[in-house]
Amino acid sequence: MSRGLSRAGLYLLAGIIALAAAFPFYYAAITSLKSGDALFSMDLLPRQWHWDNYVAIFAQQPFATTIVNSFWVATGVVSVSLMLGLSAAYALSRNRFRGRRLLMMTILGVSMFPQVAVLSGMFELIRWLGLYNRIGGLMLSYLIITLPFTVWVLATFMRRLPREVEEAAIMDGAGPLTIIWRIFLPPLMPAMFSTGLLAFIAAWNEFLFALTFTLTHEQRTVPVAIALLSGASEYELPWGHIMAASVTVTVPAVVLVLIFQRRIVSGLAAGTGT
C-alpha cells in the first residue's frame, strides 16, 4: 500500500516538475499567438490563432537580419573553437608535462571568468582590430566563453581513447597531424558534435558582449534585439512582439536540444569532470 502511495507521489512530483519547466514557455507561446486586447486576457488556450505578432517582428524590425547575424556568429565561433579546441585537447591530454594539471585548471578557471572583467580590455582590443560593431568582434570575444569548455570537454573525451592506439599509429609512421585527423577525430565525432552544440547554444544566447560591442540594429544578435525591442512608448512594452520573437529564437535551440538530449547530457557531464 505504501509502495503504491510513494509511486503516486513520484508521478505527482514528476508532473509538477514537467509543468514547472515547460509551462512558462507554453504561456509565452500562447501569448505570442494573441493579438490586440486578447493579449491582456489570461486564457490558457488561445481562442484564435493570430500570426500578427510574427508578421510584425519580421516586417517592422530587422529581426531576420539579427537571426542571420546570430547564426553566423554562432557558427563561426563553433568552428574556430572546435578546430583550436581539438588541437589543444590533443596537446593537453596526450602529453604529460609539468604543470599540465595547473594549465587545465587555469583553462577551467577562464571559463568561470566574469565577462565584465574583460569588458574594457576586450573593448579596446576589438576597436584596435577594427572589429567594433562587426560580428567578427563578437566571434573573437565569444571565444573566451566557448574555447575553455571546448578544450576541457574534448580533452576529457580524448583521455578516454586508449594511449596504445596512438602509439600504434606512431609505430605505423603517423605524425601528430595524421594522428589527430585520422585516428582521433573519427571516434571523437560524437564528442565534437555535443561540444559544438553546447558552444553553439552558448554563443546563440550570449548577451553582455553582444550588447556592448554592437551599436546598430543591423549588427545585433537576437538576444540583444529582443532585449531592446521597444514599443510606442517607454511604458508600453510590445509584449506580443517580444513573445513572438522569443518563441522564434527559442524554437531552433529547443529542437536541437530535444533531438540531441542524450549527447548534451553526456557533454555537460564530461565538462565538469563528473
Partner 1 sequence: MLVALLAVAAWPLARTVWFSLTDATLADLGAARFVGWDNYLAYRDGEWFGVLTDPVWWRSVRNTLWFVLISVSLETLLGLITALVLLARIPARPLLQAAVLLPWAIPTIVSAKMWGWLLHDQFGLVNDILLSVGLIARPLAWTADPDLMLGAVIVADVWKTTPFMALLLLAALHTLPRDCYEAARVDGIHPVTVFFRITLPLIRPALIVAVVFRALDALRIFDLIYVLTPNSEYTMSMSVYARQQLVDFQDVGYGSAASTLLFFTIALCTTLFLMLSRPTQGGKA
Partner 2 sequence: MAEVRLEAVCKSFGQEAVIRDLDLTIADGEFCVFLGPSGCGKSTLLRLIAGLADVTSGRIRIGGTDVTELPPKARQVAMVFQSYALYPHMTAYQNMAFGLRLGRRGRQEVDRRVRETARSLHIEHLLERRPAELSGGQQQRVAIGRAVVREPRVFLFDEPLSNLDTDLRTRMRAEFGRLHGRLRNTMVYVTHDQTEAMTLADRLVLLRDGNVAQAGPPLALYHNPESLFAATFLGTPKMNLIPATLVGAEPDYAVLGLPDGSHHRAGVSAAAARAGATVTLGLRPEAIRLGDQGPNSIAGRVSLVEHLGDHALVHVDWHPAAGAILTRTQGGVPPAPGEQVRLSYAPQACHLFDQDGRAFPRLPAERGLPPGGSD
What b/e sequence results for 218-244 when a residue is b if at least 16 CB atoms lie within 10 Å of its CB, and e otherwise? ebbbbbbbbeebeeeeeeeebbbbbbb
- The contacts of residue 233 (CB under 8 Å, 6+ apart) are none
Of 29, 84, 170, 208, which lies in the binding site for partner 2, with binding defined by CB under 8 A? Answer: 170
Asked whether the beta carbons of 39 and 48 are under 8 A apart, the reply is: no
Three-class SS state of 162 = coil
The distance of closest approach from Cβ of residue 177 to partner 2 in the complex, given in angstroms and rounded to an integer, is: 12
The distance of closest approach from Cβ of residue 163 to partner 2 in the complex, given in angstroms and rounded to an integer, is: 9
Q: Choose among partner 2, partner 1, none what residue 169 binds, the Cβ cut-off being 5 to 8 Å by kind.
A: partner 2
**Residue 99 touching partner 2 (CB under 8 A):** no
Q: What is the DSSP string of 70-120?
A: HHHHHHHHHHHHHHHHHHHHHHHHH---TTHHHHHHHHHHHHT--GGGGHH
The distance of closest approach from Cβ of residue 121 to partner 1 in the complex, given in angstroms and rounded to an integer, is: 3
Q: CA 45, CA 61: separation in Å to the nearest integer?
A: 28
Q: How many Å from the N-terminal Cα to the C-terminal Cα in the chain?
A: 37
**Residue 178 touching partner 2 (CB under 8 A):** yes
**Residue 68 touching partner 1 (CB under 8 A):** no
Q: CA 161, CA 176: separation in Å to the nearest integer?
A: 15
Handedness of CA 188, 190, 196, 199 (dihedral sign): negative
The distance of closest approach from Cβ of residue 253 to partner 1 in the complex, given in angstroms and rounded to an integer, is: 5
Segment contacting partner 2 by CB under 8 A, of 24-32, 62-70, 162-170, 215-223:
162-170
Q: CA 181, CA 201: separation in Å to the nearest integer?
A: 26
Map grid coordinates 552544440 to a residue: 197
Segment contacting partner 1 by CB under 8 A, of 45-53, 61-69, 81-89, 174-182:
81-89
Of 82, 104, 138, 143, which lies in the binding site for partner 1, with binding defined by CB under 8 A? Answer: 143
Segment contacting partner 1 by CB under 8 A, of 34-42, 56-64, 171-179, 181-189:
34-42
**CB closer to partner 1, 193 vs 239:** 239
Of residues 189 through 228, those in contact with partner 1 by CB under 8 A are: 201, 204-205, 207-208, 211-212, 222-224, 226-227
**CB closer to partner 2, 24 vs 162:** 162
Of residues 146 through 185, those in contact with partner 1 by CB under 8 A are: 147-148, 151
Which residues contact partner 2 (rule: CB under 8 A)? 162, 164-165, 167-174, 178, 182-183, 186-187
